[in-house]
Amino acid sequence: MTAIAESRTLSSEELEARLRAVGEERYHHRHPFHLLMHEGKLTRGQLQAWALNRYYYQSRIPIKDSLLLARSDDAAFRLAWRKRLVDHDGESGRGGGIARWLLLAEATGLDRDRVQSCREVLPAVRYAVDAYLDLVTRKSLLEAVASSLTELFSGRLIALRLDALRRHYPWLAKGLDYFEARLSQAPEDAQFALAWVRENARSRAEQELAIAALRTKCDILWAQLDALYFAYVQPGWPPPGAFRPQEP
């Protein structure tokens, strides 16, 4: 690509195509841990490790969204984004995504207190998730919003996963409400964020920052599964103090 082509502002269709290409290349639907999961090849212990570690990610999502809310001075934007807090934290008397994730963890056979304590989370998972909070805190609001666009790609992955989990791990069935809910929540959120990025990434430099932020977010998701795969699937090792499945 020449320097001239680099600096030409993309049409919003071109920008969307570039963003979607990032997902095709880097979203964690391609990660071998997910491939094993969907082929029914994970043990209960490995699914426990997944549920326990990903709980840390889930538990940080409303914190991420609160940090992001705090950065906008546009009440209409904040109102739209606030839906995500409701999705994840729930409303009085009705649990949200975090509560549903705990049901999933319980369905794998883990005690809820143990999961909520986050004491046995892999350090590498913790660092990756914290890098997400850092991105949302320190980068531009545009980059923070663009990093959420992995939700553009989650619908297809979740539909596939729901089917695979029901088929291969029937004992998980009562823990799948989280994914059911995400099937409708994520596309709405993603459409809002995509429209906002298309509108607000005005120069080519801003467009490239948005694309790079989405790439970074894909790295963050990918790194969590790398850590899980290498500690619990390959003959690797959880670091001292991390979760060890009783049934390997």
Shortest distance in whole angstroms from residue 227 CB to its own copies: 7
Tokens of 220: 């963050």
> Under a CB-based contact definition with an 8 Å cutoff, are residues 104 and 95 in contact?
no
Among 101, 185, 226, 232, binds its own copies (CB under 8 A): 226
Give the span between the Cα atoms of 171 and 130, in whole angstroms: 32
User: Binding to its own copies (CB under 8 A): which residues in 228-247?
Assistant: 229-231, 234, 236-237, 239-241
Q: Is 222 in the site for its own copies (CB under 8 A)?
A: yes
| Residue nearer to its own copies on the CB measure, 125 or 146 | 125
Shortest distance in whole angstroms from residue 125 CB to its own copies: 9
Mark 153-192 with x for binding to its own copies (rule: CB under 8 A) and - for no binding: ----------------------------------------
Among 8, 17, 24, 32, binds its own copies (CB under 8 A): 32
> Under a CB-based contact definition with an 8 Å cutoff, are residues 190 and 152 in contact?
yes
Q: Is 92 in the site for its own copies (CB under 8 A)?
A: no
Give the span between the Cα atoms of 88 and 59, in whole angstroms: 8
Shortest distance in whole angstroms from residue 141 CB to its own copies: 21
Stretch that binds its own copies, among 5-13, 103-111, 154-162, 213-221 (CB under 8 A): 213-221
Give the span between the Cα atoms of 220 and 192, in whole angstroms: 22
| Residue nearer to its own copies on the CB measure, 131 or 164 | 131
End-to-end CA distance of the chain: 49
User: Binding to its own copies (CB under 8 A): which residues in 108-147?
Assistant: 123-124, 126-128, 130-131, 134
Among 15, 26, 81, 152, binds its own copies (CB under 8 A): 26
Site size toward its own copies (CB under 8 A) is 27
Shortest distance in whole angstroms from residue 85 CB to its own copies: 24
> Under a CB-based contact definition with an 8 Å cutoff, are residues 136 and 4 in contact?
no
The footprint of its own copies (CB under 8 A) covers: 25-26, 32, 123-124, 126-128, 130-131, 134, 215, 219-220, 222-223, 226-227, 229-231, 234, 236-237, 239-241
